[in-house]
Amino acid sequence: MALPGESILASRGAKRPALTEDRRPPAPASYPVRTEEDLLSVRHAVRAATVEVGFGLVDQTRVVTAASELARNAFVHGGGGTVTLEYPRDPRGRRGLRLIVKDEGPGIVDLDAALTDGFTTGAGLGHGLGGARRLMDEFTVRTGPGEGTVVVVTRWLAW
């Protein structure tokens, strides 16, 4: 009950405080990507991680979208794999979120083509890999025929 002159704000549940300079980042966590349900679990875990780091809504959406695209690629084209979340800091102390997406598939035969908008080996629109690259601050791919694929992406908090 509020006292005269006070107001009570409704809340949709307790909010976790964003990762602060004096708080240790969470340990890396890995999530399997073997089923459609796993794709949803990855989305939820990445959304929670973006909140933990302190990203605003726009950057949360960027990171979750990139994660969804990469996890779906690992599932559809790579035969499954894992998504690992890490919480790096750059040399100046800026916080970020890194996603490491590994699959056990045949690898990407032509990486340059795969990064080109409109290129697809399936029924999609062909924006997944290139779109994920544009949504994140850092993007690397290690792949080769018969080696599977590892995509590492990082988004940093703006200063």
Whole-number pLDDT of residue 125: 40
Domain count, the chain: 1
Whole-number pLDDT of residue 69: 93
Q: Is residue 159 part of a domain?
A: no
What CATH number does residue 143 fall under?
3.30.565.10
Cβ neighbours of residue 86 closer than 8 Å, sequence gap 6 or more: 28, 97, 98, 99, 100
For residue 140, the enclosing domain spans 28-154
Whole-number pLDDT of residue 114: 72
pLDDT along the chain (159 residues), means of 10: 43 45 82 97 98 97 96 93 97 96 89 66 58 94 90 94
Q: What is the pTM of this model?
A: 0.80
Cβ–Cβ under 8 Å, residues 99 and 70: yes
